[in-house]
């Protein structure tokens, strides 16, 4: 190999070499960390909410005036909606996953426990909610219609029976057997666990305990406002949305039907900033790789132009086209490798800074080696054009003067 | 000479179009990335009320559970209880003070052609207007006497006045909210809040408040807050028990015009809490806070971490672009060694050669800046599309436009220093030999 002459040639244009090397180093450091962040965001966005999102939507209804009987309206609304063609199931709930608004509550094993065992989302729902949300009941049973309590807004709901998510039941009872056990929520009255669902996220996506949810059979109206959840037959959501909005306004005009919003849209909103971050970082990575590649092309072209005579001389002395090509590729490989070594250090330094400043997790080891391979490939590709041009320099050029 | 060098610079840009394009695109992309993120960061993080942000203070008292702090790191709750808010209002120890909370109410227009709708509003005391200074188009705020008499009065935002009264002067007219009539006393003009800094607990970038009614009136009518409410123990049953509970759901702001006043108010709060401790409340150690506007914004991380990371990455990207430009300029100027040698031989001083090539770098920077400005505009459009809540902070103003161009030129000049210095050192004799 011709490492020696390459090195001595490089030593003559140290600055250019350093510039390319630094570019490669920074690119590696940024790309590794940015890719890692993108990966984390995609993982977050991938979490299942546990509920049917495609066919469900929710909305609020708020009546006005003193004479409005929210409780009666709620019951008749449920009946009216069940009659609408395309409606698969209807329920009342105080909140839905990913909506960022809801009731958080401490859940304890004993009454008057000083610090609660866990924090849970408290979903106040009726007996058709498990079915409407499309929850997967993995143990126990659903609520019965007679178990749904009427609670005035401002009063404490102290449900006799509750359904927990699997994650919460395991947190409360690590040894298993949560079914039939008693826990304490808002007061000193025990609530018996009658069912366990596979999963149902809290409304708050940034919560550390996002999988801890509790369902309680409670009809609760907020002043004159209530919230409904509707599941349409597969593929008929939009059509059902229109029909529901029209029908409810018709049967009771002394109220405001809030915006009907699909659970899919709650997901889009809840993860909008994660999606934006992934897109922005992806764009930065792309632009960075492009700039670095162009920088290599520019510098290599310059070197080829500068060394035209030298190349001609080498060709005249018997070097093949392939030898010239190999010369430039090897040169690029050496520069890139030096840059990558520096870049690896920078990448870990960046990662350390992110860990300290933002409590982000550590950069997994495999990102850097993968980055090495990608940037080696990028460098070799970028240098290909100029190197081919160099290999086409005719040997006769050596004999010509300027 | 400057204009001649400028011409030479432009001419030289045209001579190597590919190299020039690479440099201009490089600088343009780097500048656009950093300016886009910087604009958002700057508007998000900048002082929302610079002339008095150090006088407005957010009151936090630690009435939380003795066994468990509100925040894991021990910071007190974001909001205060009803009883503490009312006690502080009645004491009236600050220069101005207002307890407030957010609520949503159905609006029932008299005009049958306008369908009833839900509006977001704020419940506050008269000092709210003196503290946060919203501009009035018609009328004025209600006064302390209306606060005292629990009057049914309302201040309308510009948009809702547009909707209900076609933008006319509606002072004296009546508006029906949730079955009760309120008399309009004032209508706001354009209130260009970049974000709602006085209630970050319920989202600094959430929808703006559309109306304002007196705190005392809303409590009379048992209007519950529609914003954040946190309780560490059950609040008991019914409205009175709720008002009496340790649930926090009210924001409390005070204006303290002097440093002395701030100290006095601090000791007043300490005394208040110590008195309450005697009643068995406030079992945690004394942990009052009186952060000013900017301190509170920082505490609540109004500038999101994502934005900071993005800005950091964008600047790292700009550095890569600059390193790239240094390399390309070096290549370009080295190629011109012959020309430089000729100029030097004909009598140009090093200083003149230096000037000429720095100007050429500046021209590259200017072109890159203009491209960067256009790309920044596109970048901000993209940010507005990606983050629907940042509509108010993703805008280019004159200061930022100027800064973009300036940054591009400075960046290009910096990138040009080393290549130009190299160019100056060209030995005329070496270049003129054939």
Residue B37 has pLDDT above 90, yes or no: no
- Of the candidates A270, A360, A347, A206, the one whose C-alpha atom is nearest the C-alpha of residue B309 is A360
**Strand partners for A72:** none
Same domain, B43 and B84: no
Same domain, B253 and B392: no
Confidence class of residue B7 from pLDDT cuts 50, 70 and 90?
confident
Residue A349 has pLDDT above 80, yes or no: yes
B106 and A256 within 8 Å at the Cβ level: the answer is: yes
Residue B32 has pLDDT above 80, yes or no: yes
Same domain, A198 and A297: no
Same domain, A160 and A28: no
- Report, as an integer, the average pLDDT of B89-103: 95
Residues of A in contact with B320 (CB under 8 A): 23, 26-27, 30, 288, 291-292
B237 and A279 within 8 Å at the Cβ level: the answer is: no
Residue of A64, A118, A152 to mutate, testing the B interface (most B Cβ within 10 Å of its Cβ): A64
CA distance B244 to A33: 51
Q: Which of A26, A255, A305 lies nearest to residue B335, judging by beta carbons?
A: A305
CA distance B143 to B340: 77
Q: Which domain holds residue B158?
A: 62-287
**Domain end point (choices B287, B318, B350):** B287
Complex ipTM:
0.82
Q: Tell me, what's the pLDDT at A65?
A: 67
Hey, which residues 293-312 in chain B have their CB within 8 Å of chain A?
304-306, 309-310
Question: How many domains are contained in chain A?
Answer: 2
Residue A1 has pLDDT above 60, yes or no: no
Per DSSP, the residues of A319-347 read --HHHHHHHHHHHHHHHHHHHHHHHHHHH
Q: Tell me, what's the pLDDT at B388?
A: 79
Residue B126 counted as domain residue: yes
Contact of A275 with chain B, judged by CB distance below 8 Å, is answered with yes
Hey, which residues 169-188 in chain A have their CB within 8 Å of chain B?
186-187
Residue A294 counted as domain residue: yes
Question: Hey, what are A399's tokens?
Answer: 């004999």
CA distance A386 to A329: 10
Q: What mean pLDDT value characterizes chain A? A: 90
Q: Tell me, what's the pLDDT at B356?
A: 86
Q: Are strands A56-63 and A182-184 parallel, antiparallel or unpaired?
A: unpaired
Find all residues with CB under 8 Å of A364, minimum gap 6, and list them.
A36
Same domain, A209 and A306: no
Same domain, A240 and A343: no
Residues of A in contact with B334 (CB under 8 A): 302, 306
In chain A, % of residues over pLDDT 70? 97
Same domain, B43 and B66: no
Same domain, B91 and B180: yes
A358/chain B closest Cα distance in angstroms = 8
For the CA atoms of A230, A236, A242, A244, the dihedral, rounded to the nearest 10 degrees, stands at -30
Per DSSP, the residues of B325-383 read HHHHHHHHHHHTHHHHHHHHHTT--HHHHHHHHHHHHHHHHHHHHHHHHHHHHHHHHHH
State CA A162 to chain mean position distance. Answer: 30
Residue A58 counted as domain residue: no
**Domain end point (choices B260, B287, B314):** B287
Confidence class of residue B271 from pLDDT cuts 50, 70 and 90?
very high
B179 and A114 within 8 Å at the Cβ level: the answer is: no
B26 and A287 within 8 Å at the Cβ level: the answer is: no
Residue A259 counted as domain residue: no
In chain A, % of residues over pLDDT 90? 62
Residue B93 has pLDDT above 80, yes or no: yes
Q: What mean pLDDT value characterizes chain B? A: 89
Same domain, B131 and B255: yes
Q: Which domain holds residue A329?
A: 3-46+273-399
- Report, as an integer, the average pLDDT of A272-287: 91
Contact of B376 with chain A, judged by CB distance below 8 Å, is answered with no
Find all residues with CB under 8 Å of B286, minimum gap 6, and list them.
B62, B270, B273, B274
State the DSSP code for B197. G
> Which pLDDT tens digit goes with each residue over A162-216?
999 999 999 999 998 899 999 998 778 899 999 999 999 999 988 889 999 999 9
Same domain, B356 and B388: yes
Residue B69 has pLDDT above 70, yes or no: yes
Contact of B388 with chain A, judged by CB distance below 8 Å, is answered with yes
CA distance A26 to A34: 12
> Which pLDDT tens digit goes with each residue over B184-227?
999 999 987 888 899 998 888 888 899 999 999 999 998 888 88
Same domain, B77 and B216: yes
Residue B61 has pLDDT above 80, yes or no: yes
Q: Tell me, what's the pLDDT at A102?
A: 87
Q: What is the pTM of this model?
A: 0.85
B418 and A15 within 8 Å at the Cβ level: the answer is: yes
Q: Give the orientation angle of helix A14-45 with respect to helix A3-12, to 10 degrees.
A: 100
Residue B56 counted as domain residue: no
Residues of A in contact with B305 (CB under 8 A): 358
Same domain, A238 and A277: no
**Domain end point (choices B287, B320, B336):** B287
Same domain, A344 and A390: yes
Residue B431 has pLDDT above 80, yes or no: no
Instruction: Decide: B182 and B153 in contact? Cβ < 8 Å.
Output: yes
CA distance A37 to A365: 14
Same domain, B6 and B92: no
Residue A318 counted as domain residue: yes
Residue of A295, A296, A389 to mutate, testing the B interface (most B Cβ within 10 Å of its Cβ): A295
Confidence class of residue B48 from pLDDT cuts 50, 70 and 90?
confident
A187 and B67 within 8 Å at the Cβ level: the answer is: no
Question: How far lies B273's CA from each of A187, B74, B246, B281, in Å?
Answer: 27, 17, 13, 8
Same domain, A106 and A247: yes
- Report, as an integer, the average pLDDT of B35-43: 85
> Which pLDDT tens digit goes with each residue over B394-404?
788 888 888 88
Of the two residues A193 and B334, the one the predictor is more confident about is: A193
Residue B286 has pLDDT above 70, yes or no: yes
Same domain, B30 and B129: no
Residue B127 counted as domain residue: yes
Same domain, B257 and B313: no
Q: Tell me, what's the pLDDT at A197?
A: 96
Question: How many domains are contained in chain B?
Answer: 2
Same domain, A17 and A90: no
Same domain, B264 and B313: no
Residue B96 has pLDDT above 70, yes or no: yes
**Strand partners for B182:** B175
Residue A401 has pLDDT above 70, yes or no: no
Same domain, A280 and A192: no
Residue B293 counted as domain residue: no
Question: How far lies A380's CA from each of A336, A337, A366, A388, B414, in Å?
Answer: 9, 11, 22, 12, 29
Q: Tell me, what's the pLDDT at A364?
A: 92
State CA A301 to chain mean position distance. Answer: 42
Confidence class of residue A308 from pLDDT cuts 50, 70 and 90?
confident
Same domain, B153 and B229: yes
- Of the candidates A173, A172, A144, the one whose C-alpha atom is nearest the C-alpha of residue A159 is A144
Same domain, A131 and A208: yes
Q: Tell me, what's the pLDDT at B332?
A: 83
Residue B433 has pLDDT above 70, yes or no: no
Q: Tell me, what's the pLDDT at B430?
A: 72
> Which pLDDT tens digit goes with each residue over B124-149?
999 999 999 999 999 999 999 999 99
Residue B252 has pLDDT above 80, yes or no: yes
CA distance A206 to A104: 13
Q: Tell me, what's the pLDDT at A262?
A: 96
B386 and A279 within 8 Å at the Cβ level: the answer is: yes
Hey, which residues 283-342 in chain A have their CB within 8 Å of chain B?
284, 287-288, 291-292, 294-295, 297-299, 301-302, 305-306
Same domain, A18 and A95: no
Residue of A298, A354, A385 to mutate, testing the B interface (most B Cβ within 10 Å of its Cβ): A298
- Of the candidates A58, A65, A63, the one whose C-alpha atom is nearest the C-alpha of residue A74 is A63
Residue A154 has pLDDT above 80, yes or no: no
Residue B78 counted as domain residue: yes
Residue A95 has pLDDT above 60, yes or no: yes
What is the end-to-end Cα distance of chain B in Å, rounded? Answer: 30
What Rg do the C-alpha atoms of chain A give, in angstroms? 33
Residue in chain A lying closest to B22 (CA)? A294
Same domain, A179 and A310: no
């Amino acid at each position: 190999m011709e490492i020696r002459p390459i090195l001595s040639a490089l030593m003559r244009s140290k600055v250019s070499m350093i510039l390319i090397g630094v570019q490669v180093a920074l690119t590696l450091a940024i790309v590794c960390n940015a890719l890692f962040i993108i990966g984390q965001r995609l993982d977050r966005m991938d979490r299942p909410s546990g509920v049917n999102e495609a066919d469900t939507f929710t909305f609020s209804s708020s009546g006005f005036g003193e004479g409005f009987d929210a409780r009666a309206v709620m019951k008749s609304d449920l009946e009216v909606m069940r009659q609408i063609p395309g409606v698969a199931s209807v329920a009342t709930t105080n909140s839905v996953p990913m909506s960022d608004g809801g009731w958080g509550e401490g859940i304890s094993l004993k009454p008057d426990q000083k610090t609660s065992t866990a924090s849970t989302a408290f979903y106040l729902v009726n007996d058709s909610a498990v079915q409407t949300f499309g929850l997967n009941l993995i143990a126990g049973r659903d609520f019965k219609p007679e178990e749904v309590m009427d609670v005035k807004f401002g009063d404490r709901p102290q449900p006799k029976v509750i359904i927990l998510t699997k994650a919460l039941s395991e947190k409360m009872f690590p040894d298993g057997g949560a079914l039939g056990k008693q826990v304490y929520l808002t007061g000193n009255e025990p609530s018996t666990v009658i069912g366990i669902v596979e999963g149902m996220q809290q409304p708050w996506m940034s919560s550390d305990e996002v999988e801890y949810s509790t369902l309680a059979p409670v009809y609760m109206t907020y002043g004159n406002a209530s919230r409904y959840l509707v599941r349409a037959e597969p593929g008929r959501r939009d059509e059902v949305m229109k029909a529901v909005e029209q029908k409810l306004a018709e049967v009771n005009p002394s109220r405001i039907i809030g915006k009907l919003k699909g659970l899919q849209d709650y997901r889009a909103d809840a993860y909008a900033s994660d999606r934006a971050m992934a897109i922005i970082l992806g764009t930065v990575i792309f632009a960075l790789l492009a700039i670095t590649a162009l920088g290599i092309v520019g510098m290599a072209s310059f070197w080829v132009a500068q060394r035209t005579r030298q190349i001609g001389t080498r060709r005249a002395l018997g070097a093949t086209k392939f030898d010239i090509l190999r010369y430039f590729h090897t040169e690029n490989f050496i520069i890139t490798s030096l840059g990558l070594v520096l870049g690896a250090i920078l990448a870990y330094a960046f990662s350390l800074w992110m860990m300290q400043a933002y409590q982000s997790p550590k950069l997994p080891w495999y990102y850097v080696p993968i980055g090495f391979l990608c940037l080696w490939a990028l460098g070799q590709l970028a240098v290909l054009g100029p190197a081919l041009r160099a290999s086409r320099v005719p040997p006769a050029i050596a004999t010509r003067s300027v | 000479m400057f204009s001649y060098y400028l011409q030479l610079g432009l001419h030289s840009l045209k001579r190597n179009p590919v190299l020039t394009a690479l440099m201009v695109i490089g600088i343009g992309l780097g500048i656009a990335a950093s300016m886009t993120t910087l604009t958002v960061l700057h508007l998000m993080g900048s002082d929302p009320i610079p002339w008095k942000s150090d006088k407005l203070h957010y009151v936090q008292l630690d009435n939380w559970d003795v066994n468990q702090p509100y925040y894991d790191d021990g910071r007190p709750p974001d909001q205060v209880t009803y009883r503490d808010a009312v006690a502080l209002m009645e004491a009236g120890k600050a220069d101005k003070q207002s307890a407030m909370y957010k609520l949503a109410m159905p609006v029932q227009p008299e005009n049958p052609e306008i369908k009833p709708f839900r509006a977001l509003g704020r419940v506050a005391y008269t000092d709210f207007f003196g503290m946060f200074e919203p501009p009035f188009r018609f009328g004025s705020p209600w006064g302390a006497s209306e606060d005292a008499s629990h009057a049914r009065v309302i201040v309308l935002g510009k948009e809702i006045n547009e909707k209900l009264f076609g933008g006319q002067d509606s002072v004296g007219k009546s508006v029906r909210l949730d079955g009760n009539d309120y008399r309009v006393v004032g209508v706001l003009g354009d209130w260009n809040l970049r974000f709602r800094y006085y209630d970050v607990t319920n989202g600094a970038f959430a929808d703006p408040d559309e109306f304002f009614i007196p705190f005392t009136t809303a409590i009379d009518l048992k209007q519950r807050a529609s914003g954040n409410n946190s309780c560490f123990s059950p609040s008991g049953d019914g409205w009175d028990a709720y008002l009496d509970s340790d649930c926090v759901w009210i924001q409390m702001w005070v204006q303290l015009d002097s440093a002395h006043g701030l100290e006095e108010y601090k000791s007043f709060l300490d005394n208040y809490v110590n008195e309450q401790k005697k009643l068995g409340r406030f079992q945690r150690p004394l942990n009052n806070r009186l952060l000013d506007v900017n301190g509170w914004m920082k505490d609540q991380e109004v500038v999101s971490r994502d934005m900071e990371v993005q800005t950091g990455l964008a600047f790292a990207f700009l550095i890569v672009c600059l390193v790239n430009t240094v390399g390309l300029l070096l290549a370009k100027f080295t190629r011109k060694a012959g020309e430089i040698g000729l100029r030097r031989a004909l009598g140009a001083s090093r200083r003149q050669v230096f000037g000429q090539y720095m100007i050429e770098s500046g021209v590259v920077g200017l072109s890159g800046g203009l491209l960067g400005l256009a790309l920044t505009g596109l970048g901000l459009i993209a940010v507005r599309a990606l983050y629907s809540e940042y509509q108010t902070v993703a805008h280019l103003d004159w200061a930022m436009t100027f800064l973009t161009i300036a940054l591009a030129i400075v960046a290009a000049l910096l990138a040009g220093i080393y290549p130009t210095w190299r160019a100056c050192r060209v030995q005329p004799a070496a270049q003129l030999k054939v």
